[in-house]
Amino acid sequence: MGDSVDFDVVVVGSCNLDLVSTTTHLPSPGETLRAVAYAEHAGGKGLNQAVACARMGARTAFIGCVGNDSAGTMLRDLLNSEGIDTSQLTTVDAPTGRAFITVDASGENTIVIVAGANAHLGKTAITLPSSKVLLAQLEIPLDVVTQVFTQAHNAITVLNPAPAAQLSTELLSLCDIAVPNENESAAMGGTKFLLGAGVTTVVTTLGERGAEISDATSTTAVTPYPVNAIDTVGAGDAFVGALCAELARGETIEHAARIASIAGALATTVHGAVPSLPTRAAVMSLYAD
C-alpha cells in the first residue's frame, strides 16, 4: 500500500485479556454452571481489530493502554509479533483490561468487560499519526474518540460503536462510517437516526444474514458467506478490520464490505477472537469478483 501517510490504518482502542468459558448453554440469572472448557486469549475490540487489519495486509498502528502486569506484557508482545506499531501503547499503573466471556454450544456468547487500563487512555497526550483510515470503538473513554476523530487529518474515520452508547451529535458528525451490529444500531436509535445525526455511511452487520450498507440515498445488501459457526467471538472485529484494510487499499465501501463479510464468517469457524482472525490470502481465496 502507498507511503504518503504514516500508516494504512490507525486503531485507537482497547485491549483485554479474554477469560473464555465454554458451556452447554448461557447461564440464566442465579444459575451456577460448570464450564466444559476454559481458555485465555488476547482480546479487546481495539486489539482484535488491529490484528484483523494487519492480517489483511494493512500497515497498522495501535494506540491504547495496558497494565503493568503479565497480561499487559503478553498483549504488547502479541501486537508486536503481528507487525503492529506499538509506539503509543502505554503501560499504566492499573490492571490490564479483562473480558469474561461465555460461549455456548451453538457458538453464541455473552461478554462482560472490566476496563482497567483501558480507562486511562487519553490521560497522557496522544500524537495521532497520519493514516488512510482511523478506527475506534467504545471500550475507551468517549472523549478520546471525539478528540482523535477531530484530529483525523484526511483519514476516513470509522467507528465501531461497541458496546453501544448514547453518542453526541459532535462525535456522530465526525464519523464517515459507523459499523454497528443490529443490537447496537437499535440501542442507538437505528440507521436513520445515525444518518440524520451526521454519519455519512452506516454499515450494519447482521450476523449470518450478512450486512447492509446505508447512506442518505440508498441501502445495499451484502450477501453472507455461509459457514458452520462454532464461536462468534471476534467475528464483528474480523469484519471491521477487513473493511478498514480494504478501504485503505482504495476499495469502494461495497467491495470492502463483501470482503469483510467473508472475513467475519471465517472468524466464526475457529474458537477465540485473535486465533480466529483470518489472513487476506484465506479471505481472498473465497472471494469471487
Q: Which residues bind ligand RIB (CB under 6 A)?
A: 14, 16, 18, 43-45, 48, 99, 111, 113, 139, 233-234, 236-237, 273
Label the pairing between strands 7-12 and 60-67.
parallel
Nearest distance from residue 78's CB to ligand RIB, in Å?
12
Nearest distance from residue 38's CB to ligand RIB, in Å?
15
Query: Which is nearer to ligand RIB, 1 or 227 (by Cβ)?
Result: 227
Nearest distance from residue 206's CB to ligand RIB, in Å?
16
SS3 of 289, please? Answer: coil
Residues acting as catalytic residues: 237
Q: How far apart are CA 133 and CA 158, in angstroms?
A: 7
Which residue has the CB atom at the shortest distance from ligand RIB? 43
SS3 of 97, please? Answer: strand
Query: Which is nearer to ligand RIB, 47 or 197 (by Cβ)?
Result: 47
Q: The C-alpha cell of 250 is what?
A: 482504495
Q: How far apart are CA 1 and CA 59, in angstroms?
A: 8
The label of the residue with cell 497522557 reads 124
Query: Which is nearer to ligand RIB, 43 or 67 (by Cβ)?
Result: 43
Candidates 52, 58, 99, 61; CA nearest to 80 is 61
Nearest distance from residue 233's CB to ligand RIB, in Å?
5
Nearest distance from residue 177's CB to ligand RIB, in Å?
18
Query: Which is nearer to ligand RIB, 13 or 152 (by Cβ)?
Result: 13
Contact criterion met (CB below 8 Å) for 21 and 77: no
* DSSP-assigned letter for residue 181: B
Q: How far apart are CA 185 and CA 254, in angstroms?
A: 19
The label of the residue with cell 473493511 reads 243
The label of the residue with cell 485473535 reads 274
Query: Which is nearer to ligand RIB, 48 or 157 (by Cβ)?
Result: 48
What is the sign of the dihedral through the CA atoms of 98, 156, 147 and 82? positive
Contact criterion met (CB below 8 Å) for 75 and 24: no
